[in-house]
Amino acid sequence: MKYLLDTDIVSLAVRNNLSTIENLKSHEDDEIFVSSITYAELMYGLEKKGSMKLADEVNIVLGKLLVKDFDMNAAECYSKIRYSLEKEGIPLDNMDVLIAATAMSIDAILITHNTKHFLKVKGLKVEDWS
């Protein structure tokens, strides 16, 4: 199976959330990714906090994951998702749409604590490991 971790799940892993850590361990034989969008959000958070200790902890978690670049397939998924949501008048943060598109482009299950947001995206498989 393929799993794409949302930014909030990576943050929970960094903070050693027991459920998140147990789920990650139980899926260690699967492909687990973060999107380059999530990577950017994490790097922004580290820049803002300015904590070397936190940067080390984030890098330890990221070192165990694959990073999936936002590519042309993800861009095509993004356009379809965003158009569909706008047509139906459903608001969703653009960063969330980019992350959802990345998951859909590689046929991955999105792992997030923000299931309420992401379940608005038709066809997106979502789980909460928190």
Residue 95's domain comprises 2-127
Q: What is the pTM of this model?
A: 0.95
Q: What local confidence, expressed as pLDDT, does residue 102 receive?
A: 98
Question: For residue 126, what are the CA distances in angstroms to 3, 13, 48, 86, 95?
Answer: 9, 18, 29, 21, 16
Mean pLDDT of the chain: 96
What's the number of domains the chain is made of? 1
Contacts 24+ apart (CB under 8 A), 20-24: 20/129, 20/130, 23/111, 23/129, 24/64, 24/129
pLDDT band of residue 107 (cuts 50, 70, 90) is very high
Assign residue 54 the CATH number of its domain: 3.40.50.1010
Portion of the chain with pLDDT greater than 90, in percent? 98
Calculate mean pLDDT across residues 82-97: 95
